[in-house]
């Protein structure tokens, strides 16, 4: 999943805002009049791409190619795009993109395959979606938007009978990668997949060299995914374009924590 700052793991990628705590669902108090729906027009897709550009390029400094003011890549045409809109302003304030398995077969690969060898996950692919490019407008990072996005994803998974989500939780490397390396060592004790679900970075972050031994708690969005039941598939990859350490993250619906199942799997638009 490419996901950078959100209020609360891009899954392509899960993105991370290390400055904010992930609100538990019962803590979320929506402050805006929001709607969640799937993009059904080119203009709606452009709205998502404009938001992505604002967050990834202007806010985070990612090196993006494509039309001015838009984050566009080859996967967009094959993905379904989930949008959260502020009904008072009509602006798109949150987005996720989803690559379903039949579209992944058409394009010939997953986004995450550019960063990882995922051959051990081949048996999951017929019912696995890849999530990515998740982001939330900086004025809306109070938790309500990400909860709306998760609800929309749940409806999509239920409607189509998909069982697994895959994506990259992206951790910024402003400190040169030391935090990400320490985080990996912390997470591998409790949050690694079983060996048969491991993936291997093509350009691995040199975690042994960067590790300092400092404590590193999971940033908010990663913590949220792990709390729900997701696992990381191994050591992170380095993404030079976004300057992030990407943790490939796997969530199977059968592993969702019961405490959050009613929020994640509740009624939602199913496209």
Residues contacting 235, CB < 8 A, separation 6+: 184, 188, 201, 204, 205, 207
* pLDDT per residue as tens digits for the range 8-24: 333 333 333 333 333 34
State the pLDDT at residue 257.
78
3-state helix, strand, coil in the chain (%, to 5): 35, 25, 40
Burial environment of residue 161 by CB neighbours within 10 A (0 to 12, 13 to 18, 19 or more):
exposed
Look up residue 113 and give its two tokens.
Answer: 């395959």
pLDDT the model gives residue 16: 35
Encode pLDDT of 140-176 as tens digits. 988 889 889 988 999 999 999 999 999 998 888 889 9
Can you give the residue ranges of every domain in the chain? 14-175+191-204+219-264
Query: For position 185, what pLDDT does the model report?
Result: 96
pLDDT recorded at residue 114: 96
**What is the enclosing helix (H) or strand (E) of 184?**
helix 178-187
For residue 225, what pLDDT is reported?
83
C-alpha distances out from residue 53 to 64, 149, 260, Å? 8, 19, 31
The whole-angstrom separation of Cα 149 and Cα 212 is 35
Residue ranges in the chain modelled with pLDDT below 70: 1-31, 260-271
For the domain spanning 14-175+191-204+219-264, the CATH number is 3.40.630.30
For residues 92 and 131, give the distance between their C-alpha atoms in angstroms, rounded to a whole number.
Answer: 18
pLDDT of residue 162: 97
Q: What is the pTM of this model?
A: 0.84
pLDDT recorded at residue 31? 59
pLDDT at residue 264, rounded to an integer: 61
- The pLDDT, as a whole number, for residue 262 is 67
pLDDT in the model for residue 258: 78
Whole-Å CA distances, 145 to 36, 85, 258 = 9, 9, 22
Would you state the pLDDT for residue 256? 86
């Amino acid at each position: 999943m490419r996901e950078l700052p959100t209020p609360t793991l891009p899954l392509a990628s899960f993105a991370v805002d290390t400055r904010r705590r992930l609100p538990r669902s019962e803590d979320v108090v929506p402050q805006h009049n929001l709607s969640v729906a799937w993009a059904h027009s080119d203009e709606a897709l452009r709205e998502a791409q404009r938001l992505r550009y604002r967050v990834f390029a202007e806010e985070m400094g990612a090196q993006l190619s494509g039309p001015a003011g838009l984050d566009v890549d080859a996967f967009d045409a094959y993905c379904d795009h989930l949008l959260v809109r502020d009904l008072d302003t009509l602006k798109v304030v949150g987005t996720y993109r989803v690559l379903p398995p039949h579209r992944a077969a058409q394009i010939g690969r997953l986004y995450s395959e550019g960063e990882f060898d995922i051959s051990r996950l081949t048996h999951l692919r017929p019912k696995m979606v890849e999530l990515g490019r998740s982001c939330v407008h900086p004025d809306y990072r109070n938790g309500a938007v990400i909860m709306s996005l998760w609800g929309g994803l749940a409806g999509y998974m239920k409607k189509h009978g998909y069982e697994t989500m895959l994506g990259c939780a992206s951790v910024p490397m402003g400190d040169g990668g030391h935090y990400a390396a320490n985080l990996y060592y912390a997470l591998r004790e409790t949050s690694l997949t079983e060996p048969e679900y491991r993936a291997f970075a093509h350009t691995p972050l040199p975690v042994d060299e960067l590790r300092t031994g400092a404590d590193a708690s999971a940033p908010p969005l990663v913590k949220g995914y792990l709390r729900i039941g997701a696992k990381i598939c191994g050591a992170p990859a380095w993404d030079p374009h976004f300057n992030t350490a990407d943790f490939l993250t796997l969530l199977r619906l059968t592993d969702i924590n019961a405490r959050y199942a009613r929020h994640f799997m509740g009624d939602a638009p199913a496209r």
